[in-house]
């Protein structure tokens, strides 16, 4: 591990209105498109690799400033990194695409050797990531749903009949009639915002190359529709695995940006491997 490499910059000066304003610290920040093979697809996440913890309020303000579905903050801890995820309005317990983006940054910015495993200590326990060619594999806990009584106005909020409704630790999972129905959903976000969950996973069996398709709505967490949601696939993998009789599947999250997620249920465990690609699109500096 090469965590020592990075993050202290020498004092710098910012020229502003012909006056020198001294800066004591510059925090690098990167933006990565996760679950994407090229720029401007998948789900963008901001990543801050820090030398040490920062105040919760500061991280919350940075996430609000970035205004992406997630901003990841990480710093060295034990034999890995402490990793936390913030939306523009709340801290969350599990996030797939920002974990994928964080691992990508550790390798591409030379914080870790390319062959090393990225180890993250999180609110959801230890998460690990490994490189497999152009793909990154993430070892996550499964979060299976159980059948649930549909909350009032859920069908109205999604604008369609519900084939199945389940709920796990974080979200409602709703199966709709088919892929076309899923693509045509026009949810009423003000109604979804009233639900006492992180979000709603809508899903259907895939019509073509994908085993299943999905969309994810989380207006109560500050995100009307998330482009690609890795953590939703910790529920989608066991759900569709049981229905299709498969342990390895290919999913597509059918947002405007779209993204492909490979899933593999690990036999005899409560783990699932989520795989995706990532591309860095921006490097910048927070002037602290």
The residues assigned a catalytic role are: 70
DSSP state at residue 150:
P
In angstroms, the CA 119 to CA 133 distance is 18
In angstroms, the CA 42 to CA 137 distance is 16
Determine if residue 191 is left, alpha or beta; phi over 0 gives left, psi from -120 to 50 gives alpha, anything else beta.
alpha
Show Cβ contacts of residue 147 under 8 Å, excluding neighbours closer than 6 positions: 164, 165, 166
177 phi and psi angles, rounded to 5 deg: -60, -45
DSSP state at residue 260:
E
DSSP state at residue 228:
-
In angstroms, the CA 82 to CA 59 distance is 14
User: Distance of CA 79 to CAs 101, 117, 119, 126, Å?
Assistant: 19, 10, 7, 11
């Amino acid at each position: 591990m090469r965590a020592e490499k990075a993050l202290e910059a020498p004092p710098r000066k910012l020229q502003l209105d012909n006056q020198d304003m001294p800066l004591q610290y510059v925090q690098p920040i990167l933006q990565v498109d996760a679950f994407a093979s090229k720029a401007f697809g998948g789900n963008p996440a901001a990543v801050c690799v820090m030398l040490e913890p920062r105040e919760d309020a500061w991280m919350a303000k940075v996430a609000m400033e970035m205004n992406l579905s997630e901003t990841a903050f990480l710093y060295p801890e034990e034999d890995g990194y402490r990793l936390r995820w913030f939306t523009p309005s709340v801290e969350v317990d599990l996030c797939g695409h920002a974990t994928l983006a964080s691992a990508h940054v550790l390798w591409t910015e030379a914080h870790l050797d390319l062959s090393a495993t990225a180890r993250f200590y999180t609110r959801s326990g230890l998460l690990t990531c490994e490189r497999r060619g152009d793909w990154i594999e993430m070892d996550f806990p499964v979060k299976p749903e159980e059948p649930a009584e549909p909350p009032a106005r859920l069908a109205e909020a999604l604008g369609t009949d519900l084939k199945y409704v389940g709920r796990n630790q974080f979200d409602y999972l709703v199966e709709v009639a088919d892929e076309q129905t899923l693509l045509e959903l026009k949810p009423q976000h003000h109604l979804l915002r009233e639900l006492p969950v992180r979000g709603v996973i809508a899903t259907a069996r895939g019509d073509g190359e994908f085993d299943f398709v999905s969309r994810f709505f989380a207006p109560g967490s500050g995100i009307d529709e998330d482009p690609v949601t890795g953590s939703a696939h910790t529920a989608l993998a066991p759900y569709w695995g049981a229905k299709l009789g498969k342990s390895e599947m290919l999913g597509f999250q059918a947002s405007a940006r779209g993204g492909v997620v490979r899933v593999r249920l690990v036999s005899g465990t409560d783990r699932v491997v989520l795989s995706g690609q990532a591309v860095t699109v921006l490097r910048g500096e927070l002037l602290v």
